[in-house]
Amino acid sequence: MTNNTHDTVSAHEAVYFIFGATGDLARRKLFPALYSLYREGKLGERFAIVGLARRPRTNAQFRDDVYEAIKEFCRYKPSDTESWNAFVEHFTYQSLDINNVEGFRELKVHTEELEAKYSIQGNRLFYLALAPELFGHVSRSLRDGGMLESKGWRHLVIEKPFGYDYASAEKLNQEISEVFREDEVYRIDHYLGKEMVQNIEVIRFANAFFEPLWNKNHIANIQITLAETVGVEDRGAYYNKSGALRDMVQNHLMQMLTMVAMEPPSRLDAEDIRDEKVKVLRSIRKMNSREEVVSNVIRGQYAPGSMKGKELKGYRDEDSVDSASSTETFFAATLYVDNFRWAGVPFYVRTGKRLPVKSTEIVIEFKNVPNNVLFANKQNVLPNLLVIRVNPMEGIYIKLNAKKPGNDMSIQTVATEYCQSCLIGINTPEAYERLIFDAARGDHTYFTRWDELAVAWKLVDPIAAAWKEDSSDLQFYAAGSWGPDKVEQMLAEDGYHWWPVNGQDEDNVIWISNTGK
């Protein structure tokens, strides 16, 4: 946590401004997250939520929208009328174009009324669920409209994507930093709000038997998979400019890699943790030429295919996608972290849309024992694995070798699993709940600092530039498959293979698990 972290008890006593309150993110994620926080007592009663967007809405209409959103997307369903009304009366709506400074002056008057009504001491959280090109405008209008003149704190929460490349991200950051200090800015990467991503620190730093092995001497390779079954849905216009590299790799994938690879921070403090993460990003080997990109990265695009018997169209046939698009919907790469701990250890990463399962997993494959007498007997000794299941199933398992009961030395793989989702059910806090809560209490730990973002862009920019030169390396894969064939080869060349994800499993494994399997 940063030094300016607020007391958790009073942190939620604030006015929350949702810019983009009529949009998809507000509906699917933000209103449900706020309701869950409320139901769990984390918002208290001294708070107000102001929805802002251009289209006209009365307070009553807005509250109806919030109701529908929560009914559809929240892990808690709206309670009885009395309790529901007690919650929703905290919501008001103002029609506002972010370019209209006069509208911000009206907002200031409205805000002061709300602060008086709920005894809020001037704490203001501005959540920008808007297109990134509007971030700079909003920041200026907030300042010019007098919205930053309050005696409490002001926190700016910004959605991804933060820029399109390093140059645009830097410009955006410059615009924001004319108005807000870095410690007032909370850049969302919702993967950092996921339970199991945060759990990486505990798994690593609270278990005596992992940390001594967590290095090149004992780890053969690390595999990170972010597989999605969905296609681009109705986001073709955005996605076609972004592709998997900017949509998933520059942010979510890099963030997970840094959590796995970072040095233990000396304190569990936001700045110490983020310092360690930046060091990892700086150590990732850059690809400086098209040749290096082509030999280390595979990009793919889904072609027509099928999943669970359903025919699926190819990416180029999706709405708002151009029919000759070379945008990648799949990315796989071998990355190296060139530092003492990880020298020579391949980090195999892959992400894609229209893959057979929805699953985010991190696999740590340990090296085989140095002198395995059992190998001589052609025994099937598999490497030990630690698997962190991030999404949608949450949990961890380790795979070990044990003797099969009997007279010979046959070997049996045993997997011991902690399935968190099986224990807690699907009602675990959503990433957005944690992140809104942390942003209110001033904890930056799970938000990306500017220097992290800058280095991440500098890593992916050369890849994008190499791809722009020529698209001959783009591979097609059938929707519903595991991506281009070359992806298996990428590991096979190093003598490895991708471990199955999402509970797909090999024969001959005994599970000891709280799933009951």
Ligand X SMILES: NC(=O)C1=CN([C@@H]2O[C@H](COP(=O)(O)OP(=O)(O)OC[C@H]3O[C@@H](n4cnc5c(N)ncnc54)[C@H](OP(=O)(O)O)[C@@H]3O)[C@@H](O)[C@H]2O)C=CC1
Residues 237, 495: Cα–Cα separation, whole Å: 40
**CB-neighbour burial class of residue 91 (10 A; exposed 0-12, middle 13-18, buried 19+):** buried
Q: What residue 23 binds from ligand X, ligand LXAUTJHC, none (CB within 5 to 8 A, per partner kind)?
A: ligand X
Q: Is 21 annotated as a binding residue?
A: yes
Q: Chain centroid to CA 503: how far?
A: 21
Residue 396 corresponds to which tokens in the numbers above? Answer: 């961890």
Residues 399, 378: Cα–Cα separation, whole Å: 19
Q: Is 20 annotated as a binding residue?
A: yes
Using DSSP, state whether 190 is helix, strand or coil. Answer: helix
Q: Which is nearer to ligand LXAUTJHC, 388 or 415 (CB)?
A: 388
x/- mask, ligand LXAUTJHC, residues 213-252, rule CB under 6 A, reads: ---------------x------------------x-----
List Cα–Cα distances, 75 to 62, 280, 507, in angstroms: 20, 35, 36
CB of 502 to ligand LXAUTJHC, least distance (A): 13
CB of 165 to ligand X, least distance (A): 16
Q: Which is nearer to ligand LXAUTJHC, 228 or 394 (CB)?
A: 228
CB of 210 to ligand X, least distance (A): 32
x/- mask, ligand X, residues 10-49, rule CB under 6 A, reads: ----------xxxxxx--x---------------------
| Encoded amino acid at 19, one letter | F
In the chain, the largest separation of any two C-alpha atoms, in whole Å, equals 85
Q: What residue 247 binds from ligand LXAUTJHC, ligand X, none (CB within 5 to 8 A, per partner kind)?
A: ligand LXAUTJHC
Point out the catalytic residue in the list 6, 12, 90, 252: 252
Residues 6+ apart with CB under 8 A from 412: 401, 402, 403, 404, 508, 510
Q: What residue 391 binds from ligand LXAUTJHC, ligand X, none (CB within 5 to 8 A, per partner kind)?
A: ligand LXAUTJHC
Q: Is 218 a catalytic residue?
A: no
CB of 424 to ligand X, least distance (A): 24
Rg (CA), the chain: 24
Residue 369 corresponds to which tokens in the numbers above? Answer: 């024992």
Q: How many residues bind ligand X (CB under 6 A)?
A: 20
Q: Is 211 annotated as a binding residue?
A: no
Phi and psi for 468 in degrees, rounded to 5?
A: -65, -30
Q: Is 140 annotated as a binding residue?
A: no
Residues 293, 316: Cα–Cα separation, whole Å: 24
**Judged by CB under 6 A, does residue 131 bind ligand X?**
yes
Pairing status of strand 475-478 against strand 395-403: unpaired
Residues 341, 276: Cα–Cα separation, whole Å: 13
CB of 306 to ligand LXAUTJHC, least distance (A): 20
Q: State the CB neighbour count (10 A cutoff) for residue 308.
A: 8
Q: Which of residues 85-114 bind ligand X (CB under 6 A)?
A: 96-98
Ramachandran quadrant class, 410 (left: phi over 0; alpha: psi -120 to 50; beta: rest) = beta
**Judged by CB under 6 A, does residue 70 bind ligand X?**
no
- E strands of 116-161, at which residues? 124-128, 154-158
Residues 6+ apart with CB under 8 A from 29: 73, 190, 430, 432
Residues 388, 398: Cα–Cα separation, whole Å: 9
CB of 327 to ligand X, least distance (A): 16
Q: Which of residues 344-373 bind ligand LXAUTJHC (CB under 6 A)?
A: 360
Q: What residue 66 binds from ligand LXAUTJHC, ligand X, none (CB within 5 to 8 A, per partner kind)?
A: none
Known binding-site residue numbers for NADP(+)? 20-27, 54, 97-98, 160
Q: Which residues are catalytic?
A: 252
State the residues that interact with ligand X by CB under 6 A. 20-25, 28, 53-55, 96-98, 129-132, 159-161
* Residues near ligand LXAUTJHC, by CB under 6 A: 228, 247, 360, 391
- For the annotated binding site, the residues are 20-27, 54, 97-98, 160, 190, 194, 228, 247, 353, 358
